A = this chain, B = another copy of it.
Amino acid sequence: MLNLLNQHRTVRKYTDKPIDSELLTKLLEATCRTSNTGNMQAYSIVVTTDATLKQQLAPTHFNQPMITQAPVVLTFCADFNRFTKWCEQRQADPGYDNFQSFMASTIDTLLAAQTFCIAAESEGLGICYLGTTTYNAGEIIDILKLPKLVVPITTVTVGYPADLPEQTDRLPQEAVVHFETYKDFTSADIDQLYAEKENSDFYKQFVAENKKETLAQVFTDIRYSRKNNEFFSDKFLEVLKKQGFLSVIN
């Protein structure tokens, strides 16, 4: 089991082999056992296999080819719609149109997503998370017909791996794990933690190809720039308002 987790790699190319619907049901059954907030199960999973729908979703994920190439695309959504409807039918006043409830349902959503991915990998499937979901959540809402109090948080493409990609590097464990309390980093710590990454031929070439001086600049100037982050912050907050999760702030 630890071996499976340690072997994890993102799979972006899939064979033509479809995923048996019985297997998919089993994976989703295991997913539904995941820990969640107060057993409200405040999330939903939209399973998309239809080619036309995948084509419509593709631009919302900046046309990353996995969306149309993978046999199955799962959109994991924070969801207080179902629970709210239940409360309304049971003489109860639901108060889930707020940021705290958005956070609770986001937690439920992401724990379920990761359970699904680990379950899928244990059955020989390969997965890829798409971080573009929060960028274009509004467009995804329209395509997947998500009602109020439902917001897409992450997307997973899944299929049988066409090849076995290299594992990506990770920072040393001490970059991520702190004992007892948080030990903030000195500049010497930072140099040490990022040394292996920065000195690798792979990243040196990556920096050169991107015509930057440092690896960090590839992130700040190209991949995750301030301008884009601020643009997509506003856009996602508008989506939260529109879907009813920030009603108190309005």
Residues of A within 8 A of B (CB): 1-2, 4-6, 8, 10, 25-35, 37-41, 43-50, 53, 77, 81-83, 85-87, 89-96, 98-101, 103-104, 106-107, 110-111, 113-115, 117-119, 122-123, 127, 129, 131, 134-135, 143-147, 150, 153-154, 167-171, 173, 175-182, 184-185, 187, 190-191, 193-194, 213-217, 219-221, 223-230, 232-234, 236-237, 248-249
Choice from B4, B114, B190, B217 contacting A82 with Cβ under 8 Å: B190
- A134, B8: Cβ atoms under 8 Å? no
Q: Which residues of B contact A111 (CB under 8 A)?
A: 110, 113-114, 117, 129
- B185, A119: Cβ atoms under 8 Å? no
* Complex A-B: 12 CB contacts under 8 Å: A2-B123, A40-B224, A47-B179, A49-B180, A93-B221, A95-B220, A95-B225, A98-B230, A100-B233, A104-B134, A144-B182, A145-B184
- B107, A229: Cβ atoms under 8 Å? no
- B41, A87: Cβ atoms under 8 Å? no
- A89, B190: Cβ atoms under 8 Å? yes
Q: Which residues of B contact A107 (CB under 8 A)?
A: 110, 129, 131, 134, 153-154
Q: Which residues of B contact A38 (CB under 8 A)?
A: 131, 219, 223-224
Q: Which residues of B contact A217 (CB under 8 A)?
A: 90-92
- A182, B146: Cβ atoms under 8 Å? yes
**Residue from A48, A118, A176 with most neighbouring chain B CB atoms (10 Å):** A176
Known: A28-B176, A48-B180, A101-B229. 10 other contacts (CB 8 A): A2-B27, A2-B123, A40-B219, A47-B180, A92-B220, A100-B229, A111-B113, A111-B129, A118-B118, A145-B184
Q: Once the chains are docked, how many angstroms separate the CA of A37 from the CA of B128?
A: 11
The list of the 10 closest CB pairs from A to B, nearest first, reads A95-B226, A1-B122, A110-B110, A90-B216, A92-B216, A114-B114, A5-B30, A99-B233, A90-B214, A92-B220
Q: Once the chains are docked, how many angstroms separate the CA of A131 from the CA of B83?
A: 18
Identity of the chain B residue whose Cβ is nearest the Cβ of A221 in the assembled complex: B92
- B8, A33: Cβ atoms under 8 Å? yes
Q: Once the chains are docked, how many angstroms separate the CA of A93 from the CA of B225?
A: 8
- A93, B29: Cβ atoms under 8 Å? no
